[in-house]
Structure 1
Amino acid sequence: MKYRKKPVVIEAFRFKIDDVMPDWFNEKRITNEIITHDDGTCTIRTLEGVMKADYGDYIIRGVNGECYPCKPDIFDKTYDKVEE
């Protein structure tokens, strides 16, 4: 069988490249769900375990408020920008 991903709007930003980190990211840092490191990376506790985000990776906030990293090439193939 084949399936199509439902069109869902998510929030995301590029780690350390975008000027401002969103409030939801900073809130996850306060609760230690996300830990930033001096080498420009961060670790994120996800439903699948701890994942590492490198400088320039996208950090995505999912439909249930969960966060996870995504490499830019995969992000570009998966998501289109939504005009507000």
Structure 2
Amino acid sequence: MPKYRKKPIVVEALKLTRSITIETSDGTKKGLPGDYLITDKNGEQYLCERDTFEADFELVKGQIDLKEMIQKSFRIIKTKIVKHS
């Protein structure tokens, strides 16, 4: 029987240090410290539990700009909060 491998998908992610609540296309989601906030290539954000994230993703070496990633994530969250206020 043929074997298949999931194609690699590159996402931006930030490990949470505090609880957050975000609005996603699937509704309101709550992330806990240790979970990851993921931003995909289309700018959509979603939360992923630490164990699941660390089992499914590995760091792309030489491709991380932590400051830019944090700023982009908070700009998107701020925009979503303003739109829902």
**TM-score, normalised with respect to structure 1:** 0.63
Please state whether the residue corresponding to 2:38 is helix, strand or coil: strand
CA RMSD of aligned residues (A): 1.8
**In structure 2, the residue corresponding to 1:13 is in which secondary structure?**
strand
Q: Note the C-alpha offset of 1:58.
A: 0.7
SS at match of 1:60: strand
| Other structure's SS at 2:52 match | helix
Q: Residue in 1 aligned with 2:47?
A: 69
What is the CA–CA distance in structure 2 between the aligned matches of 1:48 and 1:3, rounded to whole Å?
A: 28
Contiguous gaps of at least 5 residues in structure 2: 63-85
Aligned match of 2:35: 57
Structure 1 outlier segments of 4+, above 3 Å: 2-5
Amino acid across the alignment from 1:12: A
Task: In structure 1, list runs of 5 or more residues that go unmatched.
Answer: 17-39
Following TM superposition, by how much is the alpha carbon of 1:5 offset from its aligned partner in structure 2, in angstroms? 3.4
Q: Distance in 1 between matches of 2:30 and 2:14?
A: 15
In 2, Cα distance between the equivalents of 1:49 and 1:4?
A: 30
Q: Which has the larger helix fraction? A: 2
Q: Aligned pair 1:44/2:60, yes or no?
A: no
Aligned residues: 60
Cα separation, 1, equivalents of 2:4 and 2:23? 28
